[in-house]
Amino acid sequence: MALQKFLGECEKISGLKAQANAREGRGLASANCFELSREQKKDPREIAEIAAGKASKRKKTLVGGVAADNGYVNFFPSKKFFELALKQALRKKFGENAELIGQKIVVEYSSPNVGKPFHIGHIRSTILGDAIKRLLEASGAKVISFNYPGDSGTQVAKLVLALELKKATPKNERQLLKLYQWIHKQLEKERAQNGVLKLGEKVREVSDAIEAQDAKTLGTVEKIREISFRSFEKSYKKLGVKFDEVTGESKFFANAKQKALEAKALAPQFVQTDPKDGTLVLKLEEFSIPNNILLRSNGTTLYITRDVGLADYKWEKYAFDKSITVTASEQNTHFKQLFKLLELMKRPYALKLAHVGFGLITLESGKISSREGNLVYLDEVLKEASESALAQIGERGAGYSPAERKKISSIVGVGSTKFGFLRVSNEKNILFNPSKAVSFTGDTGAYLQYTAVRAKSLLEKSGVKKIKPSELKFIGEKGADNDRVNGGLNEEEKKLVEKISLFPSIVSQATRHYSPHIVCEYLLKLAAAFNEFYAKHSVLDADSEDKKKLRLALVAATANVIENGLKIIGVSVPKKM
């Protein structure tokens, strides 16, 4: 790509490591001389001046100018760079690369607990995992999307008991939630009244029956799972999310105890039976990781023991180059414990595992809680978003049919909601406000969708069916200085091409860090640069046919990058808006 070639030339002529420049007005790339100054015990400004002087005298193709600036060496692109960058950006798959070609990567995400409706608390793992999957695919990897729903454990045991006590036959996920809330209240009453936990004991008995694979209990669990997944599938369809495999936690009960005993045999120094209560303990203090229990005193297993079985299963089935799990940051310690345990068990894949943690989503009314009923259902959020989009399309869509308006509002509403979550960096918490999530003012997904649609509409209006890179001529406007270095581009055109050229490196950076928000922030800056260019310079009424073609190429490249960027993070662009 043009940017990589440009950076390579910067390093060749200066002997310094160059990076794409985030500082506006300081060139497309720069080299930092401060670390070198510490090694050489020289003023970084002096080093920069000498390096810039030498670089300016050397033969250059893509670099048009070099300048020292307070300890930095700044590199400015040449006419040849702008030509190459713009022509590359017109390619349909611009932004994709082959960095991970041949790699097989498993990405586990979403993984909701059965028995509860799909609420706004589930969306972050679902769309973040899907965006990471898409980023990896854009870099050439073969990705297996894996959904690991919680279909066992205490919350499912409570539901099984509630169904038994109420003799209920729930038909949908909301009825399941009411039963879950009911049994939780009964348990709270029992605890408050006399402290005799008869119901609590029954929950433990049901939980043990699930682990023992009792046929009758498993039959009830399967009914709960079926009801839940009918709801989950509707939500996944609305979000445009698909999975290659869905395998629940219950699958790994059968050999979980065996895995724990295997850990004791393979790592006896770190896995020991506690003489006081008989629990099997994973001891990790020397690695600055908290200890954990692998087996309870009654021989029942925990999440971590079942997760060993899950990890083995993925490796045996997929022989992955990397396995990534996307969950809330609350589980950061759990995954440190799990990965260290697998390393101690000498699993060949132990160092190929990664965990991507993300901050919590909270409501203005407090923390999301199924048992307390403090929820915002995803289908309601998406419905509100679509209705807001429909209202804001307003008179612009006056000529659209009802079916077109409905389709456009759904694409914009869902896309704007997804973008609102994805533009926040993974580790940050999100205070969710439905009205702000669907706002069409400011830096939103709808703004990007509209910019792409506007650009494509302009191309359609021009009557030019295809921009041919070979026909582009970089010339200045009449009466303006035709700067040889900038190829006749004005400041807004130059800034736009530079922004466009960054896209492949942005995709690469976001992929390496599993951080879709990097793409989101870049797209917002690109859209701002495009709208600044469009506000100041006419495209269809440019002062020459060559200039018109060049500006149409800028419009086409911008539309291509925004559409490709949104697609990479799982947001669609409507044909009209």
Average confidence score pLDDT of the chain: 90
**Closest residue by Cα to residue 264 from 233, 289, 293, 237:** 293
Cα-flanking dihedrals φ and ψ of residue 68, to 5°?
A: -85, 145
Q: What is the mean pLDDT of residues 359-388?
A: 72
Digit-coded pLDDT (tens) for 441-460: 678 999 999 999 999 999 99
480 has pLDDT over 70: no
Tokens in use for 83?
A: 């030509």
> What type of residue is 320?
F
Angle at 537 between CA 532 and CA 542, to 5 degrees: 155
* Average pLDDT score over residue span 166-186: 92
Is the predicted pLDDT of residue 374 greater than 90, yes or no? no
Residue of 225, 173, 197, 576 whose CA lies nearest to 407 = 576
pLDDT at position 21:
81
User: pLDDT tens-digit profile of 225-234?
Assistant: 999 999 999 9
What is the C-alpha separation between 140 and 101, in angstroms, rounded?
A: 4
CA 299 to chain centroid, in Å, comes to 39
pLDDT at 278: 93
CA 512/CA 338 separation, integer angstroms: 23
β-pairing, 361-363 with 322-328? unpaired
- For residues 182 and 168, the answer to whether their CB atoms sit within 8 Å is no
Percent helix, strand and coil across the chain, each rounded to 5?
55, 15, 30
Can you list the domains of the chain with their CATH numbers? 2-77 (3.30.1360.70), 104-367 (3.40.50.620), 378-568 (1.10.730.10)
| Encoded tokens for 445 | 């997904």
User: How confident is the model at residue 112, as a pLDDT?
Assistant: 93
**pLDDT at position 396, please?**
65
Q: How far apart are CA 110 and CA 106, in angstroms?
A: 13
3-state secondary structure of 150: strand
Cα–Cα nearest to 13, from 78, 65, 70, 71: 65
pLDDT of residue 528: 95
User: Alpha-carbon distance 49 to 468, whole Å?
Assistant: 41
**What confidence tier does 194 reach under pLDDT thresholds 50, 70, 90?**
low
Q: Inform me whether the pLDDT recorded for 482 exceeds 60.
A: no
- Bridge partners (DSSP) of residue 367 are 362
pLDDT the model gives residue 471: 79
Q: What is the pLDDT of residues 294-339, one digit of tens each?
A: 999 988 899 999 999 999 999 999 999 999 999 999 999 999 999 9
Whole-model pTM?
0.91
pLDDT digits (tens, 9 = 90+) for 267-286: 999 999 999 999 999 999 99
pLDDT, residue 280, reads 97
Burial of 89 per CB tally in 10 Å (0-12, 13-18, 19+): buried
Interatomic CA distance for residues 168 and 50, integer angstroms: 81
- Whole-number Å distance between alpha carbons of 534 and 452: 13
Does residue 365 have a pLDDT over 70?
no
Q: What is the pLDDT of residue 512?
A: 97
Q: State the pLDDT at residue 526.
A: 97
Q: What is the pLDDT of residues 81-123, one digit of tens each?
A: 999 999 999 999 999 999 999 999 999 999 999 998 888 878 9
Q: Convert the pLDDT of each residue in 328-358 to its tens digit.
A: 999 999 999 999 999 999 999 999 999 999 9
* Per-residue pLDDT at 398: 66
